[in-house]
Amino acid sequence: MKSMITLKSALAWFVLSAVFCLTAADAGDARRGPFLGNGFHNGWVDQHSVVLWTRLTKTMEMNRNGKQFVDPGEKVNKQFMQGKTTTQLIPDQIPAGFRLEDMEGACPGMEGEARLTYYPKGEEKKKIQTGWTPVSASKDFTAQWKLKNLRAGTDYEAVVEARPNAGAQPSDCVKGRFNTAPAADAVRDIRFVVVTCHEYPLRDAGANGHEIYDTMLKMKPDFFVHTGDVEYYDKPHPYAWTEELMRFKWNRLFALPYQRSFLANVTTYFMKDDHDTLKDDCWPGQTYGAVTFERGAEIFDKEQFPSNDKPYKTIRWGKDLQIWIVETRNYRSPNTMPDGPEKTIWGKEQKQWFFDSVARSDATFKVLISPNPLLGPDRKNKRDNHANDNFRFEGDELRAFINRHKMFITNGDRHWQYVTHRPGTDLWEFGCGPGSDVHAGGWPPDDKRPEHRFLRVKGGFLSVEVSRRAGAPSIRFRHHDVFGTVMHDEVFPAK
Residues contributing to the site for Fe ion (CB under 5 A): 197, 229
Q: What is the rounded CA–CA span in Å between residue 106 and residue 109?
A: 10
How many Cβ atoms are within 10 Å of 24's Cβ, its own excluded? 7
Strand partners, 109: 57
Q: Give the contacts of 491 (CB within 8 A, at least 6 positions apart).
A: 474, 475, 476, 477
Per-residue HEC secondary structure of 23-53 comes to: CCCCHHHHHHCCECCCCEEEECCCCCCEEEE
| Shortest distance, position 28 Cβ to Fe ion, whole Å | 45
Query: DSSP letters along 287-334, please?
Result: EETTEEHHHHHHIIIIIIS---SSS-EEEE-STTEEEEE---STTPPP
| Shortest distance, position 412 Cβ to Fe ion, whole Å | 7
User: What number of helices (H) and strands (E) belong to the chain?
Assistant: 9, 23
| Shortest distance, position 291 Cβ to Fe ion, whole Å | 19
Q: What is the dihedral of CA 363, 366, 371, 376, to 10 degrees?
A: 180
| Shortest distance, position 211 Cβ to Fe ion, whole Å | 18
Cβ distance to Fe ion smaller for residue 95 or 442: 442
| Shortest distance, position 443 Cβ to Fe ion, whole Å | 13
Cβ distance to Fe ion smaller for residue 140 or 229: 229
Cβ distance to Fe ion smaller for residue 164 or 434: 434
Cβ distance to Fe ion smaller for residue 39 or 434: 434
Cβ distance to Fe ion smaller for residue 358 or 375: 375
Cβ distance to Fe ion smaller for residue 42 or 77: 77
Of 260, 230, 257, 210, residue with least CA distance to 483: 210
| Shortest distance, position 235 Cβ to Fe ion, whole Å | 10
Helix (H, G, I), strand (E, B) or coil at 359: helix
Residue 207 contacts residue 3 (beta carbons within 8 Å): yes
| Shortest distance, position 75 Cβ to Fe ion, whole Å | 22
Q: What is the rounded CA–CA span in Å between residue 482 and residue 62?
A: 24
